[in-house]
Homo-oligomer: A and B are copies of this chain.
Amino acid sequence: MGTHYRGAETERRALDGYIKLARAAEATGATINDHLRDYGLTVSQFGVIEALYHLGPMTVGELGEKILKSSGNMTLVADNLVKRGLVTRRRRSDDRRCVEIRLSAAGEALLEQIWPHHAARVVAAFSPLSAEEQEQLAALCRKLGLAQATVALEAADAPA
């Protein structure tokens, strides 16, 4: 077996892993998030109120990191949640650059209404895998996800 074939095999394996990963994430996301429309929430909006509920008040920037969205976008997501009265904005007194987002009573009530259904959907979406397989998948994804920060891309860059 020559190096050419080995390279092709390496490539096939990574490409196959990537497409399967992307599709699994897409498909499970569709299964899980489909019902949010019934509550008039976007996936981002839900992500925000869920993060606030489980982790407590956060600044706009921290929320952006949690749900992987740009700060500009976070401003709009927060705007829309404030309009619906689900969260409140308050500028921090100790650092007046920061704006703290906090779940309102209405937001808390809404999340408590949605959460059981949401969790049930996640469980249903993952039910095709055994408990052990779910653990394996999580471990592999964790390893892969965390490592992206340190992946070396020099060889993959287009020529300047």
Contacts and interface: CB of A to CB of B under 8 A. Distances in A.
Interface of A: 10-11, 13-18, 20-32, 35, 38, 68, 114, 117, 119-129, 131, 133-138, 140-145, 147-149, 151-153, 155-158
Contacts of A117: 156-158
B158 A18 contact: no
Contact of A155 (B29, B120, B144, B152): B120
A121 B18 CA distance: 11
Contacts of A123: 10-11, 14, 156
A137 B18 CA distance: 9
A31 B151 CA distance: 8
Nearest to A38: B158
